Amino acid sequence: MNFRLISILALGVAAAAAHAISFTADFDSLSDGTAVGSAYAADGITFSGATVKNVGVGAYSGTNVAKSSTGLITATFSKTADTVSFRYIKTVNAALTVTVYDLNDEVVSTSTLGKNSKGTWKYNSIQTGDIYSKITIAGTANAFSVDDFTVAPVPEPASMAALGVGLLALRRRKKA
């Protein structure tokens, strides 16, 4: 193989590895009444305060949502995240408060979701330059649920370095 082909292959592998793959928890693989807990730990998310509820056609996707009986759902990420989103459904006319925490467990942002009964919330670190490790969703007990909880992890530094090496190799080859 020549140097150019090796460089192109290395660049392709590095680009694929550097791209952070997002994951969506839709809660449909879990049984009604099950605590969500560490069901998605292999995908980088652990929940507390969330129980699966089968709502049928009321869910955004499938039939299940994660419901809070305590008024607080916490999602903790084992991989640092730079984008998080979820859809929410409220059964009472009350606001939800979403708090984003950084790696030092300090508050990065607090958002209040108005009195709409349904909606989508999204937070991206491009807004702040921060990466974060957990969010909390607080509201009235038994009055809200979330669905399609999506997390995009921050790419690993080694993958980004490999991408940079691949780009330098291509640039060097072009000059030769």
Residue 176 and residue 172: Cα distance in Å, rounded? 7
In this predicted structure, the answer to whether residue 94 has a pLDDT above a threshold of 70 is yes
Q: Which residue has the higher pLDDT, 164 or 90?
A: 90
Phi, psi angles (nearest 5°) of residue 103: -65, -20
Nearest 5°: the CA angle 24, 29, 31 is: 130
In this predicted structure, the answer to whether residue 103 has a pLDDT above a threshold of 80 is yes
Q: Are 64 and 55 in contact (CB under 8 A)?
A: yes
Co-location of 107 and 135 in the same domain: yes
Residue 24 and residue 5: Cα distance in Å, rounded? 36
Co-location of 82 and 10 in the same domain: no
> Number of folded domains in the chain?
2
**Domain range spanning residue 44?**
20-154
Co-location of 7 and 31 in the same domain: no
Co-location of 4 and 60 in the same domain: no
Co-location of 81 and 167 in the same domain: no
List, in sequence order, every residue forming a beta bridge with 132; answer none if it has no partner.
81, 102
- Tell me the average pLDDT across 29-46: 94
pLDDT in tens, 40-53: 999 889 999 999 99
Co-location of 138 and 56 in the same domain: yes
Co-location of 51 and 117 in the same domain: yes
Co-location of 66 and 83 in the same domain: yes
Confidence of residue 78 (pLDDT cuts 50, 70, 90): confident
Co-location of 138 and 77 in the same domain: yes
Confidence of residue 171 (pLDDT cuts 50, 70, 90): low
Query: What 3-state DSSP class applies to 101?
Result: strand
Residue 20 and residue 75: Cα distance in Å, rounded? 19
Which CATH number belongs to the domain containing residue 54 in this structure?
Answer: 2.60.120.200
Determine the pLDDT at residue 108.
Answer: 87
Co-location of 120 and 170 in the same domain: no
The kind and range of the H/E element at 14 are: helix 3-18
pLDDT in tens, 109-127: 899 987 767 888 888 765 5
pLDDT in tens, 126-164: 555 567 889 999 998 888 999 999 888 766 554 444 455
Co-location of 55 and 140 in the same domain: yes
Confidence of residue 15 (pLDDT cuts 50, 70, 90): very low
Beta strands in 57-117 (DSSP E): 64-67, 72-90, 96-102, 107-113
Residue carrying structure tokens 């969500």: 36
Co-location of 27 and 104 in the same domain: yes
Nearest 5°: the CA angle 72, 78, 80 is: 95
